[in-house]
Amino acid sequence: MLEKELNSLLQTLISKNYFQGIQWSIQKDNVNYKGKVGFMDLDKKYPIHDDTIYRIWSMTKPIIAFATMILMENKKIALDDKIEKYIPDAKKLKVLQIINNQKNLENLKRSITIKDLLLHTAGFSYNFLNDPIGKEYEQEKLFHSEDLSLKDEVNKILSFPLLFQPGEKWNYSVSIDVLAHIIEVITNQSIFIFLKENIFKPLEMNETFFYVEEKKRYRIMTSYEFVQKSNTLNKFSYKPQTINNYGYPNGNIQYARGGHGLFTTIDDYMKFAKMLHTGKNINDDILLSEEYLKLINKNYLNHNLLPLEINSIGENKFDDIPNDLIPYGWGLGFRVMLDKEKNANLGSNGEFGWSGAASTYFLVDPSKNITAVLMTQVLHANPILKKLFYEFIYTKFK
């Protein structure tokens, strides 16, 4: 009954041409609910399957953050470590200052730490953000090549100034890419091999990877972009010059990043999300102890850095839906609910999770024992989907 009700609500969004297809999974008190509506591809009318593959974009980040926690517990890394311990060139970073429209560079007042990378307080930006450094990233084609190694991409990131002094502001950024490379330095492994051995294998996430083999690509949901002015969904063409081909490299089997790039199925990501309740897999093998697990969904940001906001360039603006990050602070790689009263009293303080650029989304609520994952493939989408999904969960599962 619940499945039919949620599917019916989601079908209304597909009927309005907001999305081509949506798949969802909710677990409450060890009872699973699943559903899917729409298509993988509007032209071909391919149905969504249990093994449909999605580009999860920034939902890669929580996996990298969790990998960092594993290293922390094993005393291989610490939150207060300066990043030049692992990347010596980081000590040469400068900070951009603009005074009377004049650009100046100033020295670091303090080093960037591992904690700064996890919290997005390091001073980095993103090439889709509306700030001077983000615009420089885009001008210099950061993340436009599938051929660069993660190390080379990070070296490119470090060639730009910082937007602000470390710790002074919160700015969503490429910091998790830097962190992923630090994991490579510490472990002397590629980031994918480390993730595979320490997260994917123990959780039996056998359909999660940075590179999709040719024989599996028919299972990838087609990516669309929602154009608000015309209320249309435009299919991406996967031209080589687009960022990571909007989701997968055509030829580079070694491709990997930290802030985006993973592919997965809804069942695989649900395994990861459910594990965040206990730190254990289904065999009770411990991936992360309770001591370290409880550090994840704690807010680490001072109130002067709140509310969180991601100021993007060129995205659709939906004025009738407010900034959905207002009730949240930031934990070690995850948004964390601080004040549910600012969220129409929905949710729970301590609920945590994140989302991806193509409107993928997940949440973990330890106090209510709820885990939920939502998958689709629409960039610049109407945020009504996340709002509807969240409201359904917290009105039906009290």
Please give the pLDDT value at position 181: 99
Q: CB-based contacts of 347: which residues, under 8 Å, 6+ apart?
A: 327, 337, 340, 365, 390, 394
| Entry pTM | 0.95
Do residue 291 and residue 384 come from a single domain?
yes
Do residue 124 and residue 249 come from a single domain?
no
* Residue that is last in its domain, among 187, 217, 233: 187
Do residue 200 and residue 112 come from a single domain?
no
Low-confidence ranges of the chain (pLDDT < 70): 237-251, 313-322
Do residue 22 and residue 79 come from a single domain?
no
Do residue 375 and residue 249 come from a single domain?
yes
* Pairwise CA distance, residues 41 & 175, whole Å: 33
For residues 347 and 337, the answer to whether their CB atoms sit within 8 Å is: yes
Do residue 127 and residue 183 come from a single domain?
yes
Do residue 30 and residue 129 come from a single domain?
no
Residue 68 lies inside a defined structural domain of this protein: no
Please give the pLDDT value at position 253: 84
> Strand, coil or helix: what is 41?
strand
Range of the domain at 164: 73-187
Residue 341 lies inside a defined structural domain of this protein: yes
Q: CB-based contacts of 345: which residues, under 8 Å, 6+ apart?
A: none
Q: CB-based contacts of 135: which residues, under 8 Å, 6+ apart?
A: 313
Query: How many domains does one find in the chain?
Result: 2
Do residue 179 and residue 201 come from a single domain?
no
* CATH code of the domain containing 40: 3.40.710.10
* Residue that is last in its domain, among 165, 187, 209: 187
* Residue that is last in its domain, among 160, 187, 214: 187
Residue 65 lies inside a defined structural domain of this protein: no
Alpha-carbon Rg for the chain, nearest whole angstrom, is 20
Do residue 93 and residue 127 come from a single domain?
yes
Do residue 222 and residue 325 come from a single domain?
yes
